[in-house]
């Protein structure tokens, strides 16, 4: 009897091991013609899972040294503020980075921001007529504006074109505001059947501008151009649009050289003295007020659509 052929073991150079047994070939089923039903008992292939495309981002950010540039990036909609945009802003602003001394808030396109996304707000009412989604949206708006106001970094708004409603509020939440000579601010809420209740805008505007001027701006809904905005302290600087980046940089350069601790304490003091002039912060009611007014209007429209009761 002949010994089996020599096969080296993987772990040694001496000795022999029998060759590994050969497995029997697996019988293959004949191919199924295209369009023909699969034979009985054949495995059913799993459907391919197509991942949902990621939603388009509406905010861009870039850190340049100690300056964080945050840009609203939905120019096709006039940078209308959606719930998703607020989420992106919160992700950037809610947790301060101690290495950042300056945050520049800017916007792509011709206009800074044309306000909240009305289509999204109306869709939210259709899904929840009680206004729950409006409240959630309003709470996010307040948190974003509070993050800008309370940031240990100095916040600078770079405004071109129209800043309407929510756009006005975002700019006003910044410490410093530079505008192009084509900047226009407007609060059309009353004409749209809405209260001026977005992101704590009203108490902030009253503090910065004064009650008499604010009353006239809100009740008439008229636009405020760049020159008047500077006179009212809505803007602190106005330059031609092509010089806007340099105007912002002139503010940012010296601030980046300041002590982080001194800057943080100074901003806290400024915020404390500003809030000391208010008996209470009514901005916490913004989301409730907005939701209540929109829900009531939605209910009234629904009754009108039904027609008179038979």
What one-character-per-residue DSSP string does the chain give? Answer: -PPPPP---TT-SSS--PPPPPPPPPPPPPPPPTTSPPPTTPPPPPPPP-PPPPPPP-EEEEEETTEEEEEE--GGGTS-B-HHHHHHHHHHHSS--TT--EEEEEESSS-SB--B-HHHHHHHHHH-TT-HHHHHHHHHHHHHHHHHHH-SSEEEEEE-SEEETHHHHHHHTSSEEEEETT-EEE--TGGGT--S-STTHHHHHHHHH-HHHHHHHHHH---EEHHHHHHTTS-SEEE-GGGHHHHHHHHHHHHHTS-HHHHHHHHHHHHHHHHTT-SS-GGGGHHHHHHHHHHHHHHHHHHHHH-S--
Domain-embedded: residue 91: yes
Domain-embedded: residue 227: yes
Stronger pLDDT, 115 or 288, i.e. the higher one? 115
CA 284 to chain centre: 19
User: pLDDT tens, 166-214?
Assistant: 999 999 999 999 999 999 999 999 998 888 989 999 999 999 999 999 9
Domain-embedded: residue 274: no
Percent residues over pLDDT 90 in the chain: 57
Structural domain including 226 reads: 59-243+282-298
pLDDT value at 106 more than 50: yes
How much is the average pLDDT of 31-45?
59
How much is the average pLDDT of 77-106?
96
Q: What is the CATH classification number for the domain harbouring 173?
A: 3.90.226.10
Which backbone phi and psi does 51 adopt, to 5 degrees?
A: -65, 145
240 contact partners, CB below 8 Å, separation of at least 6: 180, 181
pLDDT value at 6 more than 70: no
Please tell me the least confidently modeled range out of 117-121, 266-270, 285-289. 285-289
What does the block give as tokens for 95? Answer: 């947790």
Given pLDDT bands bounded at 50, 70 and 90, which one contains residue 28?
low
Counting the structural domains of the chain, the total is 1
User: pLDDT tens, 113-158?
Assistant: 999 998 888 887 788 888 788 899 999 999 999 999 999 999 999 9
pLDDT value at 29 more than 80: no
Domain-embedded: residue 133: yes
What does the block give as tokens for 260? Answer: 């982080």
Domain-embedded: residue 155: yes
Domain-embedded: residue 239: yes
pLDDT value at 36 more than 80: no
How much is the average pLDDT of 271-299?
62
Give the residue among 167, 184, 171, 182 at the shortest CA–CA distance from 222. Answer: 184
User: pLDDT tens, 49-71?
Assistant: 666 666 789 999 999 999 999 99
Domain-embedded: residue 48: no
Give the residue among 297, 232, 257, 224 at the shortest CA–CA distance from 102. Answer: 257
Domain-embedded: residue 132: yes
pLDDT value at 34 more than 70: no
How much is the average pLDDT of 215-220?
96
Given pLDDT bands bounded at 50, 70 and 90, which one contains residue 272?
confident
């Amino acid at each position: 009897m002949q010994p089996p052929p020599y096969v080296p073991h993987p772990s040694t150079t001496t000795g022999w091991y029998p060759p590994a047994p050969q497995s029997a070939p697996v019988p293959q089923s004949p191919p199924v013609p295209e369009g023909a039903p699969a034979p009985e008992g054949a495995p059913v292939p799993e459907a391919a899972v197509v991942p949902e495309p990621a939603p388009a981002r509406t905010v861009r950010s870039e850190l340049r040294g100690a300056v964080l540039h945050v840009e609203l990036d939905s120019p096709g909609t006039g940078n209308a503020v959606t719930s998703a945009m607020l989420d992106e802003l919160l992700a950037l602003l809610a947790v301060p980075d101690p290495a950042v001394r300056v945050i520049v808030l800017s916007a792509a396109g011709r206009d800074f921001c044309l306000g909240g996304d009305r289509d999204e707000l109306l869709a939210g009412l259709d899904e929840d007529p009680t206004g729950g989604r409006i409240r959630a949206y309003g709470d996010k708006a307040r948190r974003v504006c509070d993050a800008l106001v309370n940031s240990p970094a100095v916040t600078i708004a770079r405004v071109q074109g129209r800043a309407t409603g929510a756009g006005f509020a975002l700019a006003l939440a910044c410490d410093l505001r530079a505008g192009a000579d084509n900047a226009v601010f407007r609060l059309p809420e009353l004409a749209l059947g809405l209260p001026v209740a977005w992101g704590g805008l009203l108490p902030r505007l009253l503090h910065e501008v004064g009650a008499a001027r604010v009353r006239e701006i809100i009740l008439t809904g008229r636009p405020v151009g760049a020159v008047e905005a500077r006179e009212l302290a809505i803007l602190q600087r106005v330059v031609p649009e092509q010089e806007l980046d340099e105007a912002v940089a002139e503010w940012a350069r010296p601030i980046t050289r300041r002590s982080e601790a001194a800057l943080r304490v100074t901003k806290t003091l400024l915020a404390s003295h500003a809030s000391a002039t208010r008996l209470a912060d009514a901005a916490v009611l913004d989301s409730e007020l907005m939701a209540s007014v929109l829900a009531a209007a939605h209910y009234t429209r629904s009754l009108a659509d039904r027609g008179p009761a038979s």
